[in-house]
Amino acid sequence: MCGIAGYFLKQGTLSAPDSDERLARMAQSLRHRGPQGEGLWSGPGIGFAHRRLKILDLSDNARQPMTDDSGKVHIVFNGEIYNFQELREELAARGVRFKSTGDTEVLLKAYLEWGDETPEKLIGMFAFAVFDARDESLFLARDRFGEKPLFYAFENGAFLFASEIKALLTWPGFRRRANSAALHRYLTYQYTPSPHTAFDGIQSLPPATRLRLRRGDLTALPKPDPYWRLPDQPTPAVTDPIEAAERLREHLILAVKRQRISDVPLGLFLSGGVDSSAIAHTLRSFGGEGLKAFTVGFEDRINDERHYARLVAEQLDCDHYEFFPHSEMIKDLFALDSLLDEPFADPAILPAMQMSRLAKQHVDVALSGDGGDEVLLGYPRYAGCKMAGFLDVIPQPLRFVLSRLSAELDFGANAPRVLRYVTRLMSEMAHPTRLRYANMISFFSDADRPQLYADGMAAHVDESVSEEIASALDRMGDAPIAARAAAYDLTAYLPNALMTKTDRASMAYGLEVRCPFLDHELVEFCASLPASLRLPGTNGKAVLIDSMQNLLPEEVLLRDKVGLSVPLAQWLRTELWTMLTDSLSEETVKRRGLFNHAHIVEMLNDLRDGGDRYQYRLWALLRLERWFETWVDA
C-alpha cells in the first residue's frame, strides 16, 4: 500500500536535479500514504515517485520504483495483488525468476509476459503505472471497483499522474481552476463521479480501465479502455436458497483467505453488522492468536452499534477495542480541509478516520465489510425501490395526487429508513419509473437546483444529472429496479463515495484497508443470483444471513441495517454554527457567484429552528466552500 506519482513529457527532458526536485515535491505531498520510505526514478522525459507502506516483503528487495532485469521496464504500484502467489507460480513455470517475495515484482513480470492484458489477470486492489522504454509508452491501470485512486492531467506538454490530486498541483505552473460541470454533479451525489474531478483539466481514471500513452502520440489524452464489467443481465447460476448460501460462504472463505496474507499485523473493522461480522467469523476460522477488532461508538442509541459488535467479539474471542470519538471527530473537521483535495460531503469519513487512527495503533492492515450492501442489496433504498414498484399499477391521475401528498410528508431521522425511501419514491410517482431512483439519491435534485443556482453556476450546467443516472439504469436491461440500482451503485456510489472515504480516511494514518466483499469473483457470483434471493422482502442480504446461520449470534443476523453516521444536524447547530454561517455568509456567497444566498438563508433558518431536512445540503455547501478556500484560492 503506497502513494504513487509521476510525469511523462511529450518532448524534451528535465535535468536530474530538476526532475528529482519535482518528484520529491510530489512524493512529499503523499507522505501520509507511505510513511516508511521514499523512492524516486527518472529517465529521459519520464519520472516516477513512490511513498512506501511496508505490507509484503519488508526488505529493500521490494522497494519502488522497480525496474526489470533489462533496465527498460519500470513500475510504480499502489495496492495489493491477492493472487500474486498463484501468478508467481505460473510465471515461474515459464522460466521467470524472482528476487523478492512480494507482489510488486510479480506485477512487473506479469506485465512483461502479458502486457495490456495484465489487469485481467489480477485479483486485488491496485493502481499502477509502467514505463516501457522498448516503445516509449506509459501504461496505467486501476482495479475493478476503484478501491485505489488514480488521477491524471495533461499540463503544458507534461502528462502527470498521482494517487491524489494534491501531488499534481505541486507541478510548477499548474493552473487551479474549478470545474463547474463537475461541481454540479458533486452537489447531486456528495462526491464527484469519475472521470470528472472538481478541477478543470484533471481526470480520474475510471475503475476497471487501462490507458496507454505513447510519446509520439501525446497530443491529446486517449480514452481509457475498459478491461472488465459486471454483466448487465447475468444468467442465474443458482436459484436454490440453500445452495446459494453455501456457494456464497465458499466465495467469502476464499476472498478472506486471499486478503489475510500480510507480513505485518492484521485486524478488522467490526461494526456489529452482518457484513463485518461474517468477515470476522471467517477470518477467525483460520485460527491463530487473538483477532484484533475495532469498533467506533456514538452518543445516540440509534447509531451506536457497540452492543452487537461486543456479541460477535465475545463469541469469537477477539481482542476488542472500542472508541468513542465525539470530541476527536470535531477536531478532524479541520484536518479534512488539507486531507481532501476534492469536495466530498459524506460525513461518515469522520468516524472512518477515527476508526483508522485507533486501528493503526495496533495493526497495519484491517479488513472491512465495505461493498456488502451493494453486492447483496443491503441498503434500505433497494427495499424501497421494490416496494414502490408495486405502485405502478395505480392510474396516472391518482399517482399524481399521491405524489403531491407524499411530497408533504416529512419523516424525521428516527423513522424507519425503508418507510422514508418508499415515501420519497412515492413523491416521484408523477415521473417516469426510470427517473425515480435517480431523483431519490440526489441531494440537490433537478427540481431543487433552480432555487439554489445563481447565473454563475447555472450557465455551466451541461445536462440533467437525473437523466444521466436514469440512462445508466436503462442500459442495465430489464432486471428488477432494485438489482439495477445496486449494479449502478457498484459503478458509481461505491468507487466514488465509499472507496474514496475508506482510502482517504485510512491512508491519512498509513493504514491499509481491504474489502473481501469486493473480490470480483464473489461479486460476479452474487450478481448472478436472482434479486429474490438477495432481497426477498424488505431486508436485504438474505443469502448472506442464511450462510451465517448458527455461526453468528441471532441478534446480529436479524437486526436492521445501521449506517456509519454522525449527529450532523446537531453539530451544525452547535459547535459548527459559526463556521457554517461564516462560510455561507452573504459576502462569501456573492463573491463566488455560484449560488442564491436567499435560498441558503432559508435552509439555515430551518436548521437553526431544529429542522434536519437540509443538514446534508448545508454540509455539502460548507465542504465546497472550504475546498475553494484551501485548494483554489490558495
Beta carbons of 266 and 293 less than 8 angstroms apart: no
C-alpha cell at 174: 499548474
Residue 276 has what pLDDT?
95
Q: Residue 405: pLDDT above 60?
A: no
pLDDT of 155 reads 87
Q: Is the per-residue pLDDT at 153 higher than 80?
A: yes
Least confident of 85-94, 234-243, 409-418, 546-555: 409-418
- Name all domains of the chain by residue range, CATH numbers in brackets: 2-226 (3.60.20.10), 241-377+489-557 (3.40.50.620), 567-634 (no CATH)
**Model confidence at 122: pLDDT above 90:** yes
Q: Span 29-42, mean pLDDT?
A: 94
Q: What pLDDT does residue 419 have? A: 55
Q: Check residue 473 and give its pLDDT.
A: 86
Residues of the chain above pLDDT 90, percent: 65
Amino acid (1-letter code) at residue 42: S
Q: Give the whole-number percent of the chain exceeding pLDDT 70.
A: 89
What pLDDT score was predicted for residue 392?
Answer: 57
Angle at CA 425, nearest 5°, toward 398 and 184? 125
Residue 369 above 90 pLDDT?
yes
Bigger pLDDT: 12 or 597?
A: 597
Checking if the pLDDT of 410 tops 60, the result is: no
Judge whether residue 535 has pLDDT over 90. no
Q: What's the pLDDT band for 324 if we cut at 50, 70, 90?
A: confident
* Across 39-48, 83-92, 280-289, least confident range: 280-289
Rounded average pLDDT over 464-477: 82
- 561-576 confidence digits (pLDDT tens): 766 678 889 889 998 9
Predicted local confidence at residue 206, as pLDDT: 97
pLDDT at 216: 81
- pLDDT tens, 199-256? 999 999 999 999 999 988 887 788 999 999 987 666 777 889 999 999 999 999 999 9
The alpha-helical segments, DSSP class H, found in 115-240 are 118-121, 165-168, 180-189
Average pLDDT, the chain: 88
pLDDT for the residue numbered 517: 97
Give the angle subtended at the CA of 342 by the CAs of 340 and 343, to the nearest 5°: 95
Residue 232 is predicted with a pLDDT of 67
What is the spatial order of strands in the sheet that 209-214 belongs to? 66-67, 73-81, 124-132, 137-142, 209-214, 225-226
pLDDT, one tens digit per residue, over 434-465 is 677 887 788 887 778 889 999 888 877 766 77
Residue 471 has pLDDT above 70, yes or no: yes
At residue 467 the predicted structure's pLDDT band, cuts being 50, 70 and 90, is confident
Partners of 5 in beta bridges? 49, 162
Q: What is the pLDDT of residues 416-435, one digit of tens each?
A: 555 555 555 555 555 665 67
**3-state percent helix, strand, coil for the chain, nearest multiple of 5:** 50, 15, 40
What is the pLDDT at residue 445? 78
Residue 560 has pLDDT above 80, yes or no: no
